[in-house]
Amino acid sequence: MRHSWLAILIVALSSIAYADASEVIRDCADCPEMKVVPAGSFDMGAVDGDAEAKDDERPRHRVTIAKPFAVGIHEVTRAQFEKFIASTGHDAGNSCHGYEDGKWQGKWEDKEGWSWRRPGYAQEPNHPAVCINWYDAKRYVEWLSKSTGKHYRLLTEAEWEYIAQAGKVSVSHDSANYGAEAHCCTSLAAGKDRWLTTAPVASFAPDALGLYDVRGNVWEWLEDCYNDSYTGASTDGSARTANCSLADRRSVRGGGWGDPGRLLRTTYRLRSPVEGRYFGLGFRVARDLD
């Protein structure tokens, strides 16, 4: 019986070390709601013979994420981002790339006076915050970390593809908010997707992990700098932060409300300048577990 206390302690710790995957974590009233993503391994990148795959989606490689982590159940909303601005006074700019009235004219333009408050179309507080650059997103997670004492951060590119694969969502206008198939940047409302621009977060059913809008609605900033192939990529799910082909670009994933469905593929990659603000680009948070 002398060692029974140790057995009890081990059982107790195993039950609380990581919150149950079905449980929602929220560290403060204004913090994003989070779900635990279990550890695991997966094959990252496009399979051989995928006709839609680009060169930067290869080589396919095995990634092992050794520890569970928490991820926001949806993209950071305008209301959540506004709390950060009110608390810190952070300057999130007064211009944003987009096009008028959702009508694609063949080019993106930097619109003076557009911002996360006024992205060029109407939004409600429960819509995802857009016109956010990478530095804005980084300042937000730093604020959350300081406010809560927890380590908030952006997802790595490997983590994003991991949750996209594990979510097991077949993309359709009944499961995601995206655009027409004909060409880039044409909005479409069809099926349950009745929004021509952003939809309120969690407007569609959650995926197998209990997450919303991993694909569609808005693109999401990631931690990694962009490289034009997976040569030399880590196998542990950590972010690529050096030896990148475009060091001033960061990876973004997921597709958005004006994109054709092929851009919502789990392996499709895009990048953006770190200082770029776009009316279809937001972010989702991650958090390390104790």
DSSP annotation string for 189-239: -BTTB--SSPPPTT-S---TTS---SSSSSEEEEEEEE-SS-TT--SSSPP
Q: Is the model's pTM score more than 0.75?
A: yes
Nearest Cα neighbor of 177 from 160, 163, 197 is 197
pLDDT value, residue 290:
83
- State both tokens at 73: 């159940």
pLDDT value, residue 265:
97
pLDDT value, residue 101:
67
> What is d(CA 235, CA 75) in angstroms, rounded to the nearest whole number?
26
> Is 225 a residue whose pLDDT tops 60?
yes
- State both tokens at 115: 């911002």
Measured in degrees and rounded to the nearest 5, phi and psi for residue 133 equal -90, 175
pLDDT value, residue 103:
64
pLDDT value, residue 107:
78
pLDDT value, residue 22:
67
Average of pLDDT values for 77-104?
Answer: 92
Nearest Cα neighbor of 165 from 174, 177, 157 is 157
Average of pLDDT values for 72-99?
Answer: 97
Summarize pLDDT for 244-265 with one digit per residue, the tens.
Answer: 999 999 999 999 999 999 999 9
Summarize pLDDT for 114-170 with one digit per residue, the tens.
Answer: 999 999 999 999 999 999 999 999 999 999 999 999 999 999 999 999 999 999 999
